[in-house]
C-alpha cells in the first residue's frame, strides 16, 4: 500500500499547485479583462478622433484645391493677356520703326520737291518778265533733273520699305498660312528690324538654302526671329562689344533645320532649363517681361509643331536649333 | 566554458515556486556551480524568502533582479505571476554585481556607487568590461537620467542593456534585487568582463497617427504644454475622458530628424494639465500620438530577434535575454503568449532564454552603438563566447 499512498500524495500536491495557479489566473484574467476594455475604449476614441481630424483636413484640402484651381485659371488668363499685349507691344515697336525708316526717304523727297517748287516759281517769274537767260534755263533744267531723280529714288525706297513692312505686319496680325521662300522671308524680317539693329554694332545675316519654299505661318517666323534677335541684343552683349548673329537654314531628310547662333556672353547652365518658362528673366529690372522666349517656344512647338533646343557656352555664345517637320508644310 | 541554465515556476506560492525553480536549475547545471544569476519575479511573491532560498543553495552567487509585469523563459514561455531565474557559469567570463540606492535623489551618485561596488570585486581590468545589464526603478526617476549617469561612468561605447522593473501594472512601487537585498529606488547592475560575444535587436511596432504638434513647455520628463495648450488637452483630444497611459506613448521627432522615438506617460496632473513620462523630453520637439496593434507588435518581436541574430558575431549564441514593454502585453492581452513564440521562430527552442515585461527598455540601437532609453519596444540580447 505504501507506493500507492506516495502516488496519492504526489497527485494531491500537483492538484494543490494547479489549484493555486488557476485561482491566480482567474484573478489575473478579471484584471486583464478590465484593462483590455479600457485599452480598447481608448483605441476606439483615438481612431474616431483621427478619422474626424482627417475628414476635417480633407474638407480643408478640398476647399483649398477649389481656390487653387480658381487662382490657376485666373493666372492662365492673365498669362494669355500678357502674351497678347507683348505681341501688341512688339507690333507697336514695329510701327514706330517703320515710321522712322520711311521718314528719311519721304523727308528727302519733300526737301527735293520743295526746292524744285521754289526754283520753278522763280523760273516762271523770269519767263513772265521776259528776262530769261540761257544760263538760267540750263541751271533750272539741271536742278529739275536732279530733284526729280532724288524724289523718284527716295519714293521708290519708301515704296520698297512699305512693301516689306506691310507683309510682315499683316503676317504678324493675321498669322495666316501661305507659301513663301524661307530664306528671302527671313531676310525681309531683318529689314524690318533694321531700325533697331542700326543703333547697335552687330552684324546679322541669313545663310543657307535659297530654294526652300514652305507653306506655313510666316507671322510665326517673323515673331520667332524678332524675339531671338531682340533677346541676343538685350542679354548677349552687355559690354556693347560688336557681335555676329547668324541664321542658317538647311534641309535635312524630312526636316528643316533653322540654326540661330550668336557669339554673345552665353547663358549660365543653371538658367538653361528655365529660359523657355513664362516670366523667367534675368533682367526684370531692365524691363524684361520674361515672355519673349516663352512665345518663341510656344510658336515653335504648338503653331509650327517643331522642337527647339538651346545650347550655350559662357563667353562663347548661344545656339538655338529649331527643327520643323517637313511633312507639315 | 560558458553555460547558462534557466528555471521557471508559475506556482503562486513563494516557497513552492523557488523550490521548483532551483530543482530545474540544479538538474540542468549537472554539478557545476553558477557564479551569477538574474531573477525576474512577479510583484506578489515574498521576495526576501525567495532570495534566502537561492542563497542557501548558492551562497557565492552574484545576483541582480527585479519585479515585473509578466515573465518569459525557455522553460514555460510567457507567464504572469511567475518566477524565473537565469544562472551563468563560466571560467572565461567574470560577473560582478553592484547596486546604488536613492537614485531619485542623485542618479549619478547611485550609478557611481553601483559601478564602484561591482568593479571593486573584479580581478579584471575595467577595460575588459564587455556588457552591463541593469534593472533600475523607473517609477522614482527617469530612465533617460539613469542611462545618462551609467554612461557617464562606463563610457558611451559600452553596451548597457536592461529594463525598468515593474509592479504588475499598478504603477505604485517596484522592487529591485541585489544579492539577498530587496530594494526600491535603486539601480542594480551586473558587469560582464572578458571575451563575451553579444548582439542586440530593438523594435517596437508602434506607428504615429494624427497631426504633428510641438512641445512648447517641458522640463526633464514632464510636459506642461503642447502647442501652447496644457499637455493633457492634447491627450484628451484623442482619448476623451480616459487617462494617458503607457500603451499610448508619444512619437517624438527631434528637430531635423525624420526618425522618431517613443516616450510613454506614467502619470498626469489634472489640475496643472501636465503629464509625466518615463523618459526626458526636449522642448521644441515635434510629437504625434501613436497606435500599436497586435499584428504590428508580434511582427516587431520577430524583427527584434532577427536583427539580433543578424548582428551576432559568433556562430550561435548560448543564451537570450528579452526585455519587452508592459504596454505590449496589455494590448496583446490574451495573445501575449504569442509574442515569445514569434521571437523564438528563428532560433533553437532549447536556447536558454529569460525575460520580463518592463516599464521601459534600455539598449543600444546598434549592437555596439550608444545605449538609449526606449518605450514600447521588444529588446533581444544574445550572449555567448567564441
The ipTM, to two decimals, is 0.82
Q: In what order do the strands lie in the sheet with B160-163?
A: B94-100, B187-193, B129-134, B160-163, B361-364, B371-374
Residue B26 or A226, more confident? B26
pTM: 0.68
Mean pLDDT along residues B126-143: 92
Instruction: Verify whether the Cβ–Cβ distance A45 to B239 is below 8 Å.
Output: yes
On chain A, the residues whose CB falls within 8 A of the CB of B13 are: 17, 20
Position B348 scores a pLDDT of 81
- Would you say B158 and B209 are in contact if contact means Cβ atoms under 8 Å apart? no
Residue B236's pLDDT is 94
Contact B238 A17 (CB under 8 A): no
Tell the residue number behind the cell numbers 566554458, with chain if given: B1
Measured between CA atoms, how close is A43 to chain B, in angstroms?
Answer: 8
Whose cell is 564602484? That residue is: B116
- Would you state the cell numbers that stand for residue B190, as one nine-digit string? 551586473
Whether residue A43 and residue B291 make contact (CB cut-off 8 A), yes or no, is yes
> Residue A29: closest CA among chain B residues belongs to which residue?
B334
How does DSSP assign A163-192, residue by residue? HHHHHHHHHHHH---EEEEHHHHHHHHHHH
Structure confidence by residue, pLDDT tens digits, B310-335: 999 999 999 999 999 999 999 998 89
Contacts of A38 in chain B (CB under 8 A): 242, 245
* Domain A180-329 = CATH 3.30.565.10: yes
Q: Is B172 on the interface with A (CB under 8 A)?
A: no
Q: In Å, how far are B22, B230, B378 from B56, measured between CA atoms?
A: 11, 54, 34
Reading the block at residue B9, the C-alpha cell is: 515556476
Question: CA A64 to CA B198: how far, in whole Å?
Answer: 54
Residue of A nearest to B45 (CA): A24
Q: What is the DSSP letter of A276?
A: T
Residues of B in contact with A31 (CB under 8 A): 169
pLDDT in tens, B35-56: 999 999 999 999 999 999 999 9
Chain A contact set for B248 (CB, 8 A): 42, 46
Please give the residue that has the higher pLDDT: either B380 or A167. Answer: B380
Domain-wise residue ranges, chain A: 180-329
For the record, the C-alpha cell of A231 comes out as 533677346
Q: Which three cell numbers stand for residue A280?
A: 523667367
- The DSSP H or E segment spanning A3 is helix A2-129
What's the confidence (pLDDT) of residue B338?
93
pLDDT digits (tens, 9 = 90+) for B272-297: 999 999 889 999 999 999 999 999 99
| Residue of A23, A36, A42 with shortest CB distance to B239 | A42
Domain boundaries, chain B: 2-203+297-385, 206-291
Which helix (H) or strand (E) segment holds residue B153: the answer is helix B143-154
Minimal CA separation from A297 to chain B, in Å: 41
The tens place of each residue's pLDDT in chain A, 329 residues long, gives 455 777 899 999 999 999 999 999 998 888 888 888 988 899 999 999 999 999 999 999 999 999 999 999 998 888 888 877 777 776 676 677 677 778 888 999 999 999 999 999 999 998 888 888 888 889 999 999 999 999 998 898 888 777 766 666 666 666 678 899 999 999 988 888 887 788 888 999 999 999 999 999 888 898 899 889 988 988 888 877 889 999 999 998 889 999 999 999 999 988 888 888 876 777 666 656 677 888 888 889 888 889 999 999 999 999 999 999 986 55
Torsion of CA B194, B195, B197, B202, to 10 degrees: 30
Mean pLDDT for chain B overall:
94
Correct CATH for B206-291 of 1.20.1500, 2.40.30, 2.60.40, 1.10.3430: 2.40.30
For position A286, what pLDDT does the model report? 62
The CA distance from B226 to B224, in Å, is 7
Cell representation of residue A88:
501688341
Amino acid at each position: 500500500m505504501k507506493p500507492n499512498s506516495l502516488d496519492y500524495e504526489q497527485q494531491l500536491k500537483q492538484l494543490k499547485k494547479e489549484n493555486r495557479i488557476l485561482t491566480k489566473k482567474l484573478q489575473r484574467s478579471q484584471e486583464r479583462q478590465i484593462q483590455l476594455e479600457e485599452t480598447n475604449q481608448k483605441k476606439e476614441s483615438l481612431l474616431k478622433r483621427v478619422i474626424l481630424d482627417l475628414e476635417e483636413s480633407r474638407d480643408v484640402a478640398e476647399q483649398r484645391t477649389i481656390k487653387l484651381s480658381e487662382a490657376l485659371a485666373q493666372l492662365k488668363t492673365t498669362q494669355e493677356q500678357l502674351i497678347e499685349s507683348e505681341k501688341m507691344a512688339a507690333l507697336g515697336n514695329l510701327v514706330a520703326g517703320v515710321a522712322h525708316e520711311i521718314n528719311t526717304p519721304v523727308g528727302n523727297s519733300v526737301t527735293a520737291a520743295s526746292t524744285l517748287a521754289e526754283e520753278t516759281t522763280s523760273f516762271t517769274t523770269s519767263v513772265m518778265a521776259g528776262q530769261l537767260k540761257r544760263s538760267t534755263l540750263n541751271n533750272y533744267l539741271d536742278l529739275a533733273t536732279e530733284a526729280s531723280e532724288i524724289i523718284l529714288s527716295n519714293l521708290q525706297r519708301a515704296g520698297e520699305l512699305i512693301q516689306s513692312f506691310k507683309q510682315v505686319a499683316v503676317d504678324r496680325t493675321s498669322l495666316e498660312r501661305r507659301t513663301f521662300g524661307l530664306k528671302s522671308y527671313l531676310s525681309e524680317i531683318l529689314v524690318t528690324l533694321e531700325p533697331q539693329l542700326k543703333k547697335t554694332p552687330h552684324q546679322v545675316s541669313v545663310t543657307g538654302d535659297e530654294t526652300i519654299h514652305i507653306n506655313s505661318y510666316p507671322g510665326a517666323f517673323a515673331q520667332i526671329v524678332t524675339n531671338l534677335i531682340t533677346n541676343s541684343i538685350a542679354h548677349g552683349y552687355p559690354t556693347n562689344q560688336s557681335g555676329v548673329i547668324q541664321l542658317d537654314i538647311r534641309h535635312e531628310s524630312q526636316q528643316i533645320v533653322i540654326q540661330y547662333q550668336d557669339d554673345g556672353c552665353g547663358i549660365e547652365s543653371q538658367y538653361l532649363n528655365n529660359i523657355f518658362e513664362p516670366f523667367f528673366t534675368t533682367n526684370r529690372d531692365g524691363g524684361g517681361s520674361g515672355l519673349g522666349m516663352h512665345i518663341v517656344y510656344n510658336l515653335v512647338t504648338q503653331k509650327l509643331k517643331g522642337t527647339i533646343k538651346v545650347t550655350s557656352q559662357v563667353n562663347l555664345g548661344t545656339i538655338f536649333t529649331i527643327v520643323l517637320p517637313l511633312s507639315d508644310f | 566554458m560558458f553555460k547558462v541554465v534557466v528555471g521557471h515556476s508559475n506556482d503562486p506560492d513563494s516557497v513552492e515556486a523557488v523550490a521548483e525553480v532551483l530543482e530545474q536549475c540544479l538538474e540542468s547545471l549537472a554539478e557545476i556551480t553558477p557564479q551569477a544569476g538574474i531573477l525576474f519575479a512577479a510583484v506578489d511573491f515574498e521576495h526576501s524568502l525567495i532570495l534566502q532560498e537561492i542563497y542557501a543553495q548558492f551562497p557565492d552567487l552574484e545576483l541582480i533582479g527585479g519585479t515585473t509585469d509578466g515573465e518569459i523563459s525557455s522553460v514555460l514561455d510567457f507567464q504572469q505571476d511567475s518566477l524565473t531565474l537565469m544562472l551563468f557559469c563560466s571560467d572565461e567570463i567574470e560577473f560582478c554585481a553592484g547596486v546604488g540606492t536613492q537614485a531619485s535623489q542623485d542618479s549619478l551618485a547611485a550609478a557611481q556607487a553601483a559601478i564602484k561596488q561591482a568593479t571593486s570585486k573584479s580581478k579584471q581590468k575595467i577595460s575588459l568590461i564587455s556588457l552591463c545589464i541593469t534593472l533600475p526603478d523607473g517609477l522614482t526617476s527617469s530612465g533617460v537620467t539613469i542611462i545618462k549617469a551609467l554612461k557617464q561612468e562606463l563610457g558611451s561605447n559600452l553596451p548597457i542593456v536592461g529594463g525598468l522593473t515593474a509592479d504588475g501594472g499598478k504603477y505604485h512601487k517596484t522592487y529591485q534585487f541585489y544579492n539577498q537585498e530587496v530594494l526600491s529606488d535603486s539601480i542594480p547592475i551586473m558587469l560582464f568582463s572578458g571575451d563575451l560575444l553579444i548582439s542586440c535587436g530593438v523594435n517596437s511596432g508602434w506607428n504615429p497617427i494624427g497631426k504633428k504638434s510641438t512641445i512648447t513647455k517641458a522640463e526633464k520628463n514632464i510636459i506642461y504644454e503642447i502647442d501652447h495648450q496644457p499637455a493633457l488637452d492634447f491627450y484628451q483630444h484623442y482619448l476623451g475622458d480616459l487617462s494617458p497611459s503607457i500603451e499610448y506613448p508619444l512619437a517624438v521627432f527631434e528637430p531635423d530628424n525624420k526618425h522618431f522615438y517613443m516616450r510613454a506617460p506614467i502619470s498626469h496632473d489634472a489640475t496643472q494639465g501636465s503629464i509625466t513620462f518615463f523618459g526626458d523630453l526636449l522642448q521644441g520637439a515635434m510629437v504625434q500620438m501613436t497606435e500599436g496593434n497586435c499584428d504590428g507588435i508580434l511582427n516587431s518581436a520577430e524583427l527584434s530577434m532577427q536583427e539580433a541574430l543578424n548582428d551576432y558575431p559568433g556562430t550561435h549564441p548560448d543564451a537570450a535575454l528579452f526585455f519587452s514593454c508592459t504596454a505590449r502585453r496589455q494590448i496583446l492581452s490574451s495573445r501575449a503568449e504569442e509574442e515569445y513564440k514569434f521571437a523564438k521562430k528563428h532560433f533553437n527552442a532549447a536556447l536558454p532564454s529569460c525575460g520580463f515585461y518592463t516599464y521601459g527598455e534600455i539598449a543600444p540601437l546598434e549592437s555596439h552603438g550608444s545605449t538609449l532609453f526606449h518605450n514600447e519596444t521588444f529588446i533581444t540580447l544574445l550572449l555567448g563566447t567564441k
